[in-house]
Amino acid sequence: MNSKQLKELKATQRTQMILALDVDSFSKAKYFVDLLYPRVKIFKVGLQLFIACGGKIIRYIREKGGRIFLDLKFYDIPNTAANASREVVRMGGIEMFTVHTQGGPEMMQRVKGAVREEACRLGIKAPLIIGVTLLTSEAQSSKITPLVISLTRAARTAGLDGVVASVKETGRLRQEFGGDLIIVTPGIRLAGGEKGDQRRIAAPEEAKGAGSNYIVAGRPILEAKNPLAITRAIIKRIDSA
């Protein structure tokens, strides 16, 4: 993809926001879903919330009309990861879920095959499979981008739909893999916001400009005095970029 094609892609691409429900109870998660849906249509359920209330929050988001990004980062032997992925399909209503690309080609291929087979058996749409490359808590260095490109190439070869990557790598990934690679970008912060344990962070407009399909915001909203106002500000930044 040349620079002109990349510019055209950015101009037509619709970047969507995902709210990371990184809270410790169903009641807290329900509060944010009720407050922010339908301004926010996609909600990330990660390890903490899933362990706290499992399928209950999945069902609630689905009944509310929202979409679900299940971020459990499967990383296990191929058979175990594939069987877990079948269960994700059986849950229903999961738009996309994550596996670790460092689990290796065989694990990713087995996950892809299991998801495709189970969705076909049930007659439903298969969830998107998103490969986690390097966590945004990793400090930026000259080795990061080549490694993320390598892991993304392995994910695409295995048939995964996209990757999680910071804004620091997103532009290069677009150049290397074109417009059909789904890129999910975490670590979104507004100017002056606390970084927390995130190192490779970005403003919403930076992520959209680099070519991200989805941006994930959590603590800037969850810890805000006015979560709705912060959500509106982030969405405005995305839409006006």
Tokens 């995902």, residue located:
18
State the Rg of the chain over Cα. Answer: 17
Catalytic residue among 7, 73, 143, 236: 73
Query: Is 168 a residue of the active site?
Result: no
Active site residues: 73
